[in-house]
Each structure stands twice: as C-alpha cells, then as structure tokens.
Amino acid sequence: MSQDKLAIDGGPKTKTKPFGTGKRFGLDEAKELLEALEQNTLFYHFGQKVKTFLGNFNELYGVNYSVATTSGTASIHVALGAAGVTVGDEVITSPITDQGTLIGILYQNAIPVFADLDPHTYNMDPQSIEARITPRTKAILVVHLAGNPADMDAIMAVARRHNVKVIEDCAQSYLTKYKGRLAGTIGDYGCFSTNDFKHISTGDGGIVTVNSGDEQDYLTTHAFADKNFKRFGDTVQKELHYVAPNYRMTELQGAVGIAQLKKLPWICAQRRKFGDRISEGIAGLPGIASHKVEEGNEGTYWFYMLRVDESQLTCTRNEFSKALAAEGIPNGAGYIPAVMYMQPLFQKRQAYLGSHFPFDLTGITYEEGLCPNAEAILQTAIRLTVNEFHTDQDVEETIRAIRKVANHFAKVPAV
Ligand SMILES: *Cc1c(COP(=O)(O)O)cnc(C)c1O
C-alpha cells in the first residue's frame, strides 16, 4: 500500500500540521514581577515573593517546610549538606540523569555509586541499590526520571534496613504520584528545579522540601542555602558552624514562580494525558516497548522514551529514529550521550582539576558494564518531546507515525 510507504523512502509524511505551541509567560508573571520591583528590595528575606512562592508550593505539596535555591543542582547539594553527607561517604544514585544530580555529591567530597535501573521505568532498581550498600553509604539519591516515580516503598525499606537518608531528585517530576503520594514528599528531602527546560520555569531556580517535619532539620537546610546565616523573623543568627554556599533565590525568581505554580496542575495534567495516550496507542507493536509507569502511579512525562528491540525489527535503533523524524516526528536516539560513569570525570577520577580526591579515599573505579540495564536503555531508546501545548491531533499523529514505522520494519507484522 502506497499509504504505508515511509516518508524517508519518498512516501507521504504522517505529520503535516506543525506541533502546537504556546506562551509560557504572560501578564500574570509581569504583574508579580512589577510587584517585586515595587517592594524596593529583591532580597528574599526582606520581600514577600519567595516566601509566597514557597508557601504556595508547600500547600500544593502538603509539606510544612521547603527552602528556595538558585537551581536544581543547588537544591540537591543543599539536601546532601543538610543530610550530613561528607568526606568519603558514598551516595547511591542513577547513571541516567543530569549531572546536577552528581555535582553536590562531589562538592561534599562524597563518592557517587551507581545502581542499575529497571529496563522499562528507567528508574533505580531497589535490589541493585541494596547490593551497592556498604558501611560507607550515607544516602540514596533517587532520580524520578522523566516524571515517572521510582519504586519508593522498596527503596525506603532498603534505606530503613541500612539506616541511610533518602533524597529525591524531582527535577523532572512535578506532581508525579507514587501510589497516590507526591514524589518529593516520601524521602527525607525532595529536590526540584525551575530551570528554563523544566515543567515550570523561573529562568533558573530550585526548591528543597524538608520532609521530616522537624523544625531543626528545616533550619539546618535553610542555613545551608544561605552561607550558614539563619534568618527568621527579626533575628539573624550569623554564627558560622560549617561551610554552606550562597544558593539564595531572588525575589524576581520567586515572583515568576508564583505565577508559574498556578499553571503547574494544568501543565502536568496535559503531559500526563499525552504520555499515557502514547503508551496506549503503541501497545503491542512488534519490537516496541513503551515508557512504563507502574500500575497505581501517575507520570507527568518530562519526556516520553520508548525502546526498540532490534532483534524483532529489520532496522537499527538509529534507522528507526531517522524514519520517524522523516514522518515529521522530532525525536532523539537515546537521551544523555552515555551512562554518567563513562564520562571523563569518572573515567579519569577527576572531580577537581589535577586531583583524584575524593575517589582515592576508597579506590573506587568506574567500568563499562557496571549497570548493564542502564547501558542497554541508552543504546535502544527513542526519546519523544512531550509538551503541554501539543494538541490531541499531535499525539494521535505521533502514534500513527510510530505504528507506521514499526509495522514497516517488523520482522513479524502485527496482527
Ligand atoms: C535539570 C536536572 C537537574 C539540575 O537542575 P538545574 O536547575 O539545571 O541545576 C538535576 N537532576 C535532574 C534529573 C535534572 O533533570
């Protein structure tokens, strides 16, 4: 059928109309920004915008305490610092993530240890985490990748058995639910990013939730993001007890954050609908495995990542990716270039230029094959953009294009 001739071979393109787009920022942000300027201060402690932003975030998330920061990377560093992660400690985390997950670990002179992933949720496998625990393990840094919650019950059970802290990296996972509970409220700390590529943007910025509900933990976390100053009410406690960076959010970011937060439920609902619909639309296709969200969980898809099984197809992953792009569906072959431990930083064991510290404290090395599932995921994944401004037609055409390409290359056609 000519209808089935791939666009890459000169057939008709599946997607004809451009993807839906929209404006992320508008008059609401402008009004908040103007109010921030009219305060005559942009300092979080003197103004109201960061305080209101956090108050609204706490309400949305049902938490008592959170701290605003300059980035997701900063939020994770703050959580690690507040959790007492220090020189020579090991922190177990995911090899498929943004480097922002790892930077704070190394700034605390602690050592990243990588656990393998579930082949279809792309999240850390609790059994692999437990196998990596040593007497040096201080924390588990769980990455909820792409808006999909990790298996928190099992991870919390491992953490309790070994008495280690749990920090959740929710930079890609706003309003993501694990068995009805919000990701970021289950471990000891939840870390969010408001950089310009995340569900909501303040240009750059971040939030850390303090989930123990303990005021002292909150004060420590707060101080860690503000040069160890403790500013509450009219009193400022300036005694320095340990090294803490300046990761303060400004009133300008807080102002934009207030307006962005109001849009967050809609953004997440749209993304959830589109991601789940793609999974439904490509279910059962030969050689295609969908982005798995476990039963009872709610994903908010920062992106959608399917996997191709080359043994069931007559094409390679890269050929599949190119054919899909030719159908008018932009996509990426894989996600990050390689698992994090294959980066030169880990291969050369060089956190600091000209030094092997802190890696030489334990003699740890990072070899290919350490996390076979994670490596296989990156070799066989196709990543699709999910965006709240896409239309139902965009999603249906995306599904049609994937079905067309998969059926074309299937060794055994779908029934
Ligand atoms: C974006 C991101 C970070 C870092 O956030 P920044 O605001 O860019 O510092 C950390 N972890 C993950 C999983 C991310 O996607």
Give me the DSSP letters along 46-65. TSSHHHHHHHHHHHHHT-SE
What pLDDT sits at residue 415? 59
Is a pLDDT exceeding 70 seen at residue 263? yes
Is a pLDDT exceeding 70 seen at residue 414? no
pLDDT higher at 232 or 266 = 266
Give me the DSSP letters along 370-381. SSHHHHHHHHHE
- Nearest atom in ligand 1 to 143's CA: 13
Buried b (16+ CB within 10 A) or exposed e, 294-333: beebbbbbbbbbbbbebeebebebebbbbbbbbbbbebeb
Longest dimension (CA), the chain: 77
Mapped onto helix, strand or coil, the DSSP state of residue 407 is: helix
What pLDDT sits at residue 191? 99
| Best residue for ligand 1 mutational test, from 69, 73, 192, 383 (most atoms within 8 Å of Cβ) | 73
Please provide the average confidence, as pLDDT, over all residues in the chain: 97
| Best residue for ligand 1 mutational test, from 142, 169, 193 (most atoms within 8 Å of Cβ) | 193
What pLDDT sits at residue 30? 98
What's the 99 CA to ligand 1 centre distance in angstroms?
A: 7
Q: Which domains does the chain have, with CATH numbers?
A: 27-260 (3.40.640.10)
Decide: 114 and 90 in contact? Cβ < 8 Å: no
Tell me how far apart the alpha carbons of residues 283 and 285 are, in angstroms, rounded to a whole number: 6
What pLDDT sits at residue 232? 82
What pLDDT sits at residue 2? 39
What pLDDT sits at residue 235? 84
93 lines ligand 1 (CB under 6 A): no
